[in-house]
Amino acid sequence: MSELRTDVVDHHVNWLQVHQDGKSLVRKLIGKSEWKGIIAVTRGGLVPAAIIAREMEIRRIDTLCIATYDKQFIGDVNIIKKPDEAVADGGEGWLMIDDLVDTGTTMKTARDFLPKCHVATVYAKPEGIPYVDTFVHEVPQNHWVFFPWDTEPQYVAPLAESPSDAA
């Protein structure tokens, strides 16, 4: 059953912030291990995983395709694709990357079959922090983070062109 979050505060992140925060995550991860590869949690983890893969010179990348949201509705966990090679050894030596951990539902499910992987996110909310090994920024639980790949800039007419607002 889905639940609409009604107490949400919008928090917008731009491309520059994502890139800078991705590099901050790399600085926290360098030297922690010799990674076998990266598991990008789709879809949100794809962009941070690309930044991290480039900065850490990791070329072996797989995906965990899992969905728990439909827009701002929280629903059931739907596993679409598992990273078979990483699952075979419980995720040992693998670095799992996502953009954000919210309630931890996605990561809890991922840890069921990848208990030994290192989970890293750019942003983490309090309820999800216990499921993450490394993160850059804590975000309040009631904030909905809008990433640049989920939004687009739009033209806004000058106030002088708005017939009813130009008083």
Choosing from 84, 102, 112, 165, the catalytic residue is 102
Choosing from 99, 112, 133, 150, the catalytic residue is 99
Whether 75 maps to a domain, the answer reads yes
Tens-level pLDDT at each residue, the chain (167 residues)? 445 556 778 989 999 999 999 999 999 999 999 999 999 999 999 999 999 999 999 999 999 999 876 655 566 788 999 999 999 999 999 999 999 999 999 999 999 999 999 999 999 999 999 999 999 999 999 999 999 988 888 888 888 887 765 45
Catalytic site includes residue 21: no
Catalytic site includes residue 102: yes
What's the total number of domains in the chain? 1
Domain that holds residue 96: 3-161
Q: Considering the entire predicted model, what is its pTM?
A: 0.84
Catalytic site includes residue 98: yes
All residues at 6 or more sequence positions from 162 whose CB lies less than 8 Å from its CB, including other chains: none
Choosing from 62, 98, 112, 133, the catalytic residue is 98
CATH number at residue 94: 3.40.50.2020
**Which candidate, 118, 149, 119, places its Cα nearest to that of 43?**
149
Whether 166 maps to a domain, the answer reads no
